Amino acid sequence: MNSILMDIYFQLPNRNELIRVLLLKDYNTRLVIVGVMLLGLAGGIIGTFMLLRKRSLMGDAVSHATLPGIGIAFMIMVAHGGDGKSLPGLLLGALISGIIGMGLILLISRASRLKEDAALGIVLSVFFGIGVSVLGVVQKMSQGSAAGLESFIYGKTASMLTQDAYLIAGTASIIVVLCLFLFKEFTILCFDQDYAGSQGWPIIKLDIGMMLLVVSVTVIGLQTVGLILIIAIMVIPAAAARFWTNSLFKMILIAAAIGAASGLFGAILSALFEKLPAGAIIVLVSAFIFAISLFLGSARGFCIRYFMSWRLEKKVSRQNLLRSMYEGLEKNDKKSLDKESKLRSVQSGISLEYFLSNRSWSMKKLTRLLKKAISEDLVYEGADKKYHFTKDGLSEAKRIVRNHRLWETYLISYADIAPAKVDRDADQIEHVLGQVMVDKLEELLLSNQAALPILPSPHSLDR
């Protein structure tokens, strides 16, 4: 039992080890960090296009499709007198096998009625099964025990050599340059493939080109994180970047930065704690960044969306309260609405019973809304225990009702919606009407009546 505990015990690095790793004093540490950073950068960029193309799992299928090529390449090199350990030869076999797998995915999805997800599942499982069978044969060869091919399944970043780093750096640089060069083409392919085809763009060639870049990232990532985890290098940084921006170019930059940062910190942690595998730690670091982005992302993060939803709900409730008061006064005492300068002397008001009968609010929520409106000097409670508009409150209520009825009139006049049903549709959109849209509606609907302070309710049309 003690020996097992000793095996799983992680000793914290001392000060000298920490400084040596953080300052990149070791050549192998520098080599690994540069390699995984460039891999993460390339994966983040091409992964962004794959995410928007809704083909995030393509990398997973392609990575599994490389396994047969690795085993077959090993056997071919051994048959020609080599030891089968040449990384370029193994990666070439993985590349060819991956391209074949990618081609089969595109062929099955385009030439049959099967959807792309079914094609992905078929190719992934079949090629992985073939790969496991080939590796079983390799392990029974006299050279198979020294092959170390399992490192391509789980990754073996610490064993990266200089030529390996150069290969990753060169391939990643080419991928980045091609993605930037074809930025416009890949963008239109991701967002509107049909439009691109109608404009004469070579859709199939662009699609194949994008897939080849995916295969390239997959192949150079096999030595780093392995074929099982390589999909995370392309999916997680792009998915995390989506929470921070709505701009494609910024999303690519953020995804590239997240991919590079994941490689950097993952490699550093793996160097500080020798028992931690670098590939898995890189993925966990990127997953941690994704979790932060999920909650704190400035564009689509959970917190900002919750805050915006909460703020919109408050705005909608406030506007509904003022509109309900105005419509109540409009029914009962329309003359009092014109006495803006003498509001304090107006005797008519709205009771709590009216609010409760016309809105599905609880007494608790209604009380809270009225207190908020009173604090904003929009409403005041009179001696008659009814609620009255202040001058600012009446002005705001008129603006809200006007926008609501503008939209109602537009829906009735141009969208052919029955007057009896239009209030619900108008209520769903009126709260987000901008001033530009209001001006356009006024220009479209009011013409000679633009000077009127407020339109009559269009509901009278169905009576």
Mean pLDDT of the chain: 78
pLDDT at 346: 45
pTM over 0.85? The answer is no
Of 175, 147, 13, 132, the residue nearest 78 (C-alpha): 147
Token pair 């960090």: residue: 33
Mean pLDDT of the region 358-363: 81
What residue ranges do the domains of the chain occupy? 23-235, 306-462
Rounded percentage of the chain residues whose pLDDT exceeds 90: 8
Residue pLDDT, tens place only, 261-282? 998 888 888 878 777 777 788 8
Contact assessment for residue 238 and residue 44, using Cβ atoms and an 8 Å cutoff = yes
User: Has residue 426 got a pLDDT over 80?
Assistant: no
Mean pLDDT of the region 124-129: 86
Of 156, 175, 359, the residue nearest 259 (C-alpha): 175
Sign of the alpha-carbon torsion through 119, 121, 124, 130: negative
Residue 347 to residue 33: CA distance in whole angstroms:
77
Residue 160, SS3?
coil
pLDDT at 255: 94
Q: How far is CA 454 from the centre of its chain?
A: 42
Host H or E run for residue 138 = helix 116-139
DSSP-derived secondary structure for 209-258: HHHHHHHHHHHHHHHHHHHHHHHHHHHHHHHHHTTT-S-HHHHHHHHHHH
Residue pLDDT, tens place only, 299-335? 888 998 888 888 878 888 888 888 888 888 877 665 5
User: Has residue 206 got a pLDDT over 50?
Assistant: yes
> What CATH architecture is 306-462?
Orthogonal Bundle (1.10)
The first and second tokens of residue 381, run together, are 């409670």
Of 406, 278, 397, the residue nearest 337 (C-alpha): 397
pLDDT at 429: 54
Q: Which residue has the higher pLDDT, 331 or 180?
A: 180
pLDDT at 335: 56
Termini Cα distance of the chain: 86
- Please give the DSSP secondary-structure letter assigned to residue 388: E
Phi, psi of 56, deg, nearest 5: -60, -35
Give residue 1's pLDDT band: very low, low, confident or very high (50, 70, 90).
Answer: very low
Give residue 252's pLDDT band: very low, low, confident or very high (50, 70, 90).
Answer: very high
Give residue 94's pLDDT band: very low, low, confident or very high (50, 70, 90).
Answer: confident
User: Has residue 448 got a pLDDT over 50?
Assistant: no
What's the half-sphere exposure (Cβ side, CA atoms, 13 Å) at 249? 5
Mean pLDDT of the region 372-386: 86
Give residue 258's pLDDT band: very low, low, confident or very high (50, 70, 90).
Answer: very high
Token pair 């030869």: residue: 89
User: Has residue 240 got a pLDDT over 90?
Assistant: yes
Contact assessment for residue 29 and residue 21, using Cβ atoms and an 8 Å cutoff = yes
Give residue 241's pLDDT band: very low, low, confident or very high (50, 70, 90).
Answer: very high
**For domain 23-235, which CATH number applies: 3.40.1010.10, 3.40.50.150, 1.10.3470.10, 1.20.1260.10?**
1.10.3470.10
Give residue 20's pLDDT band: very low, low, confident or very high (50, 70, 90).
Answer: confident
